[in-house]
Copies of this chain bind each other. A is one copy, B any other.
Amino acid sequence: MHTAGGRPRPPTIHDVAREAGVSRGTVSRVLNGGRNVSTAARDAVEAAILRTGYVVNRHARSLITGRSDSVGFLLTEPQERFFEDPNFNVLLRGCTEALAAHDVPLLLMIAGTEAERRRITRYITAGHVDGVLLVSSHSGDPVAVRLREAGVPLVACGKPIGQGTKVSYVAAADRDGAREMVQYLLSLGRRRVGTVTGPLDTPGGVERLAGYREVLAEAGLGADDRLIANGDYSRASGEAAAERLLAEAPDLDAVFVASDLMAQGVLAALQRAGRRVPEDVAVGGFDDSPAALATQPPMTTIRQPWGRISAEMVRVLLAQIGGEDPAAVILPTELVHRASA
């Protein structure tokens, strides 16, 4: 029997039961872990499944279990930034694969506009997804708040600002990573070390700046606001920030940049200003994204363990869907030494 489109109607649990000579209940039991099933019955059912090519109908299952057996991957930042950001790819790929290993499909959702935010919130709270992997570190994200209030299992990438301890998250040790880079820059003999920060309403922006400040203070180098310029993680903002730094602190001899993409922009500004990297100004990035390999010279940077981050996000989310309490996971970073510093 075929539908209009020519796709054959797949076998159901009923076909398998007939083929195996058991009841549909028994088939369902072997499908769901095989508790309370005799070996003979299980074998017969498994053989029948192979013979018929049976695949469970997820809609029927979901209808009765109330679970969708799928999760959402939700972007709530202004999309441009994310899609420009090479980290996004790594994270998305990692999550897709980790989920696939559990046979859980990933639904991609982009909440760029207010209308989309409303639509997606309704979609999620209606239970069309069992939980969500949230990529939005901006504080006061209304979607995150609404989802949390609705009791939707949630795990954020990066510590959500101002959400208390109620929401799970997985993050790299931002402050430690920043500390390591700035210490390294100092170990090179640099003394006028500037920084280009991320957005200060994101945990990465705040923590990396804090790490920078701590190390300078510990080294006895006084705070100097002329050495600090804000960026928004985009390449263009890094370029603009570097120009400001150059104008306000021309004696700059190193810069710690809070993302590789911004560091690309910093490199461009430095080259335009005739400063050699690393001879005149050493540049350290953050992320170890693909962008770090595309620069001239290749970028010395702090590696974020994206593979582990995505795997942990999935693990924590699945656990929470299974009834466990929220959890926070912090993963160590690593200095990757290349040529820019």
Is A5 an interface residue, CB under 8 A from the partner? yes
The contact of A116 among B68, B100, B107, B122, by CB within 8 Å, is B100
A90 lies within 8 A of B97 (CB): no
B7 lies within 8 A of A150 (CB): yes
Is A296 an interface residue, CB under 8 A from the partner? yes
A230–B55 CA distance with the chains assembled, in angstroms: 43
- Chain A residues 281 to 299 lying within 8 A of chain B, measured CB to CB, are 290-291, 293-294, 296
A14–B103 CA distance with the chains assembled, in angstroms: 32
Is A146 an interface residue, CB under 8 A from the partner? no
Among the listed stretches A17-25, A56-64, A242-250, A330-338, which one makes contact with chain B, having 4 or more residues with CB under 8 Å of it? A56-64
A127 lies within 8 A of B92 (CB): no
Copies of this chain, complex-wide, total 2
- Measured between beta carbons, the chain B residues less than 8 angstroms from A73 are 108
The contact of A93 among B83, B105, B116, B127, by CB within 8 Å, is B83
A59–B110 CA distance with the chains assembled, in angstroms: 22
B83 lies within 8 A of A151 (CB): no
A268 lies within 8 A of B296 (CB): yes
A10–B68 CA distance with the chains assembled, in angstroms: 14
Is A276 an interface residue, CB under 8 A from the partner? no
A5 lies within 8 A of B323 (CB): yes
Is A163 an interface residue, CB under 8 A from the partner? no
- Measured between beta carbons, the chain B residues less than 8 angstroms from A321 are 5
A277–B11 CA distance with the chains assembled, in angstroms: 62
A313–B119 CA distance with the chains assembled, in angstroms: 23
- Measured between beta carbons, the chain B residues less than 8 angstroms from A62 are 59
A151 lies within 8 A of B119 (CB): no
A134 to chain B, nearest CB (A): 16
- Measured between beta carbons, the chain B residues less than 8 angstroms from A271 are 296
A125–B112 CA distance with the chains assembled, in angstroms: 32
A122 lies within 8 A of B323 (CB): no
- Chain A residues 79 to 107 lying within 8 A of chain B, measured CB to CB, are 79, 83-84, 88-90, 92-93, 96-97, 100, 103, 105-107
Is A198 an interface residue, CB under 8 A from the partner? no
The contact of A96 among B55, B110, B268, by CB within 8 Å, is B110
- Chain A residues 221 to 276 lying within 8 A of chain B, measured CB to CB, are 235, 264, 268, 271
A106–B72 CA distance with the chains assembled, in angstroms: 10
The contact of A107 among B57, B105, B264, by CB within 8 Å, is B105
A60–B126 CA distance with the chains assembled, in angstroms: 13
B151 lies within 8 A of A58 (CB): no
Q: Can you list 27 pairs linking A and B with CB atoms under 8 Å apart?
A: A4-B323, A5-B151, A5-B321, A6-B151, A7-B150, A10-B126, A10-B127, A55-B122, A57-B63, A57-B126, A59-B60, A70-B107, A73-B108, A84-B89, A96-B109, A100-B109, A100-B110, A100-B119, A103-B119, A106-B107, A106-B108, A235-B294, A264-B294, A271-B296, A291-B294, A294-B294, A296-B296
10 further A-B pairs in the complex, CB-CB below 8 A; given A63-B63, A235-B293: A5-B153, A5-B321, A7-B127, A8-B151, A57-B63, A57-B127, A59-B60, A97-B110, A106-B107, A235-B294
